[in-house]
Amino acid sequence: MLSYRHSFHAGNHADVLKHTVQSLIIESLKEKDKPFLYLDTHAGAGRYQLSSEHAERTGEYLEGIARIWQRDDLPAELEAYIGAVTHFNRSGQLRYYPGSPLIARQLLREQDSLQLTELHPSDFPLLRGEFQKDSRARVERADGYQQLKAKLPPPSRRGLILIDPPYEIKSDYQAVVQGISEGYKRFATGTYALWYPVVLRAQIKRLLKDLEATGIRRILQIELAVRPDSDQRGMTASGMIVINPPWKLEQQMTTVLPWLHKALVPSGTGHTTLNWVVPE
């Protein structure tokens, strides 16, 4: 079942949080010259046109990236992310939103590499087209979870693994934990960043318990809620679970999370969370 299309949601509050965390991790990895791998298991189409029928129908980006990209009081921690968004909107009008693979493409260096997988029959060719001329990238129509076994550890022994499934099938909640433990067995020093939506809080409590039960340590949870928890109103919050976060990430998020919350949710509803699920 592949009915999810990210084009309906591109640039929403969840993307803003996800891509902020993604860009901060990439910038930290770049502090050493040694190359690293960026592995994106559920890569999507790459580029999203915000004037498309899909994006216009939901208008989600209007309450996400549109609220922040031209602010003149951006925290320094958002510069890399917003710089990547601006690169695709040089006219000064917000027309395109870069998904995670294009943000990585902008931020990675010559010596780094990208491994991207996407299964959707319409989104895969779009993604492949974006990377045709990029010799650093390998784009495959393949199952993202399998990559956690097949592509790890990277030869450079450094890397960020972004796991961003649509959760349209309930088994995704178990598959991510299984996938992470498979990856971690092969590559325990990698940074793993898992995105999650809060639709039913009980599902996330369970997910965190299952992750704890793997025995993996250094698990940081970063969450931004735009509404109070509710089991009747769709996604009220989203979060990132980061295993082996760069040492600066927690500190960076103490500045960025409250700023994002205030900028994205002017009414002040919802909450932010920054919490070690499992410490050192």
Positions marked active-site: 164
Using an 8 Å Cβ cutoff, are 40 and 116 in contact?
Answer: yes
Sign of CA pseudo-dihedral 244, 245, 248, 251: negative
What the block records as the tokens of 197 is 């939506």
Find out whether 144 is annotated in a ligand binding site: yes
From 143, 182, 212, 250, residue interacting with ligand SAM (rule: CB under 6 A): 143
Per-residue binding letters, 109-128, with ligand SAM (x by CB under 6 A): --------xxxx--x-----
Question: Contact between 100 and ligand SAM (CB under 6 A)?
Answer: yes
DSSP bridge pairs for 115: 39, 138
- Span interacting with ligand SAM, options 35-43, 80-88, 130-138, 177-185, rule CB under 6 A: 35-43
Find out whether 210 is annotated in a ligand binding site: no
Per-residue binding letters, 44-83, with ligand SAM (x by CB under 6 A): x---------------------------------------
How far is the C-alpha of 102 from the C-alpha of 247, rounded, in Å? 25
From 20, 164, 198, 265, residue interacting with ligand SAM (rule: CB under 6 A): 164
Question: Contact between 144 and ligand SAM (CB under 6 A)?
Answer: yes
Distances (CA, A) of 124 to 48, 104, 119, 204: 13, 17, 6, 29
Find out whether 72 is annotated in a ligand binding site: no
Residue ranges of alpha helices (H) inside the chain are: 13-29, 53-58, 65-68, 79-87, 100-107, 123-130, 144-150, 172-186, 201-213, 249-264
Query: Binding residues for ligand SAM, per CB under 6 A?
Result: 2, 4, 6, 18, 40, 42-44, 99-100, 117-120, 123, 143-145, 164-166
What residues form the annotated binding site for S-adenosyl-L-methionine? 19, 42, 100, 118, 143-144, 164
